[in-house]
Structure 1
Amino acid sequence: MSRTPVLLDCDPGIDDALAITYLVAEHRAGRIDLAGLVCTAGNASLDDTVANALAWLELAGSPELPVAAGASGPIAVPHALTPETHGPRGAGHAELTTTRGADPRDGARLWVDAARAHPGELVGIVTGPSSTLARAVALDPALPRLLGRLVVMGGTFRGHPGNTTPVSEWNVDVDPEAADRVCQVWEDAIVADPVVMAPLWCGLDLTEHAVWTPERSRRLLEVSDSPLTHRLVDALRFYFEFHASVGEGYVAQVHDPFVAWMALHPEVVVWEKAHLRVECAGEHTRGMTVADVRGQRGVVDNARIASDVVVPGGADAVLDEICAAIVSLAGPPG
């Protein structure tokens, strides 16, 4: 059976690190073909996101993959970094180094090249701002038709509060114009060809159920005392401290690996069709993901909004599977 080609567009970022290592494990297990990583400025600067991605791949024992630098910031506003959330360079308390180098291509070009190399098959996963993807669809407007599926960690739905403003999720809030451009491009593509699959948007109302605890970190080290697991635990400790500082408790909401897992298990994801747009102008609502699930706008549905995963144990069981995948990379304690 052929392996599913996957491209990850990320902004590592602590929970991005878990998504990267999980996808490397799936690649090494022969379940996917990890076609490359695109790095977008988000949680950290573009230089740091690229360096972090290369370091996590090296720690995970990944084969050489193309890692391309994408957008260095949002379309319309200055880039707001998040050192309080992910640490000064995006890796929490982890000290990262790498001997690997980045691909010379622009991240938007890697999106297009990967899609054209796997027409109708590539699964694109976005766990950071949509800034590079917005550039990729401008570079090649056929991208929605070329992709097999697109899965986005972004937004918040069904009245769930935001984590950046009362109504906005961070990935969308940092570059609403890019996220809205993605919505517009897929709407146009679906109007032109109804066979085009609408992107799956995974918002905070679902991803906040993926909660990593200190106990899970302890169990990870018990079964795999390796450089990879130690660096991940160091990074996650910073994430615990951030969540505690904002009243969430000494835990970490790990959105990105949960979304990566959903991208590889579409058969268990519950979703509903919607027409999605992103508010870019409202004084109090900028960055809000506005999903019309009742057809009130009278236009084509351009999104699928994820609401649940149908697996025994829910998000905790998914994190168990992700943890086991990471252990498979690092090996037993030694």
Structure 2
Amino acid sequence: MGIVEMNKDGNFPNVRLLFDNDTGIDDALALAYLCACDHVQIEALTSTPGNVDVEQVAANNRALLALCERPEVPILIGAQDPLQIPLVTTPETHGPQGVGYATLPDRGTTASSEADAVDYWIDAARANPGELTVLLTAPLTNFALALRREPRLPWLLRKVVIMGGAFYYQGNTTPTAEWNTHVDPHAAKEVFAAYTAAAEQGLESEKLPIVCSLDTTERFEMQPEFLTRLAEEAGCTESELVLASDPEGTLSNSSNPLVRYLSDALRFYFEFHRHYDQGYIAHVHDYFAAGVAAGTLGYQSRPATVDVETESTLLFGTTVADYRGLWGKPANARIVSSNDPESGFAELLTRLGALARKLDTNS
């Protein structure tokens, strides 16, 4: 019943992007991809605590932007903690620094305060009504704070893309809850409540958040052979082999800095998924959401009314979707119902390969 949303001719309109993340291996992959998209202008990168604490998120972002030769992008620190509960990070999933075995020097020393990050969003949206796309691949803490201060944001923004939630699908943190939502369910609940209020006031359906939940992001299942193909696409003379039989923690010897960084980060992610009996693979959730925000990946979506459980111990952080209007409330989100991983990985390979060649030439 959803509308197919896909650009078929490969000519993508320019996207002005506010990107909020908690870098994070798949956040890092998404950021590298966006840096490889010539039609995407990253207006600001805001950091939210999640996979690691917020200072480490900002450090990861600074280092990766420097590698991708995008040091001009402002990096703003958002909230220090979730709205109402203590922060829980994921060193077992993303490594102690958030990017697996990858290492880069942090070439920056400062980042702005939480007020600067949230106020930046609000000021930018007011100054550019209908022009900015927001991509959220972290807990929704910063976005909830921004909506508190400026309830007109749903009208001011061009598009909002959220990676989070699980609907009729097993959670990856509890049996029913997805990680980003579980870290700060109160923030997610506030965000969807704000969009319910906006819908009741006549917000256009195309401005409702596009929600990339585990139902479809886990279809983006990266195999280690992707890194072999990336090295080839980047023009590397040496093969990049990431094998399940390698000792854990084996590091890349690639001469290409981007290939080496992504290989070391993703190897940790492959190992993590194997530890949890999912195979030597990596679910690259945030890349799919980045492709939706950039307009490069096709998908279908269904309107729904979304709410988040914050009271039940058993179901804490669970997202619930009403597709049939049983609550008597208007739709407050568009939940992605299908996508195309095969073409998505082909797109990722082409873009990252071109960026890797460029960085190798410039180094």
Shorter-chain TM-score: what band? over 0.9
Tell me how far apart the structure 2 counterparts of residues 109 and 322 of structure 1 sit (CA, whole Å): 32
| 5, 8, 15: which one aligns with 2:16 | 5
Match of 1:43 in 2: 51
Tell me how far apart the structure 1 counterparts of residues 124 and 109 of structure 2 sit (CA, whole Å): 19
5+ residue gaps in structure 1?
none
- Cα pair 1:9 1:128 within 8 Å, conserved: yes
Instruction: Tell me, yes or no, if structure 1 residue 68 matches structure 2 residue 79.
Output: no
Q: How far has the Cα of 1:2 moved from its partner?
A: 6.6
Which 4+ stretches in 1 moved above 3 angstroms?
100-103
Match of 1:113 in 2: 123
What are the superposed Cα offsets for residues 231-281 of structure 1, whole Å, 9 maximum, x if unpaired?
111000000010000011111000001111012228832111111100001
Which amino acid is 1:318 matched to? G
Match of 1:56 in 2: 64
- Cα pair 1:221 1:230 within 8 Å, conserved: no
Among all aligned residue pairs of Structure 1 and Structure 2, give the percentage whose two residues are the same amino acid.
40
TM-score with structure 1 length normalisation?
0.93
Tell me how far apart the structure 1 counterparts of residues 96 and 71 of structure 2 sit (CA, whole Å): 28
Match of 2:277 in 1: 247
Map 1:117-132 → 2, pairs under 5 A: 117-132=127-142
SS, match of residue 342 in structure 2: helix
Map 1:140-151 → 2, pairs under 5 A: 140-151=150-161
Instruction: Tell me, yes or no, if structure 1 residue 23 matches structure 2 residue 66.
Output: no
SS, match of residue 113 in structure 1: helix
Instruction: Tell me, yes or no, if structure 1 residue 259 matches structure 2 residue 270.
Output: no
Tell me how far apart the structure 2 counterparts of residues 61 and 51 of structure 1 sit (CA, whole Å): 15
SS, match of residue 331 in structure 1: helix
Map 1:198-237 → 2, pairs under 5 A: 198-224=208-234, 225=236, 226-237=256-267
Which amino acid is 2:48 matched to? T
Map 1:134-145 → 2, pairs under 5 A: 134-145=144-155
Judge which range, 132-141 or 110-119, deviates more: 110-119
Aligned length in residues? 326
5+ residue gaps in structure 2?
1-11, 237-255
- Cα pair 1:211 1:316 within 8 Å, conserved: no
Q: How far has the Cα of 1:71 moved from its partner?
A: 1.4
Match of 1:322 in 2: 348
Q: Greater CA radius of gyration, 1 or 2?
A: 2
SS, match of residue 338 in structure 2: strand
TM-score with structure 2 length normalisation?
0.86
- Cα pair 1:66 1:102 within 8 Å, conserved: no
- Cα pair 2:27 2:287 within 8 Å, conserved: yes
Q: How far has the Cα of 1:282 moved from its partner?
A: 0.9
Change (3 A) 1:301 1:123: same
Which amino acid is 2:47 matched to? C
- Cα pair 2:233 2:354 within 8 Å, conserved: no
Map 1:161-180 → 2, pairs under 5 A: 161-180=170-189
- Cα pair 2:15 2:40 within 8 Å, conserved: yes
Tell me how far apart the structure 2 counterparts of residues 54 and 125 of structure 1 sit (CA, whole Å): 18
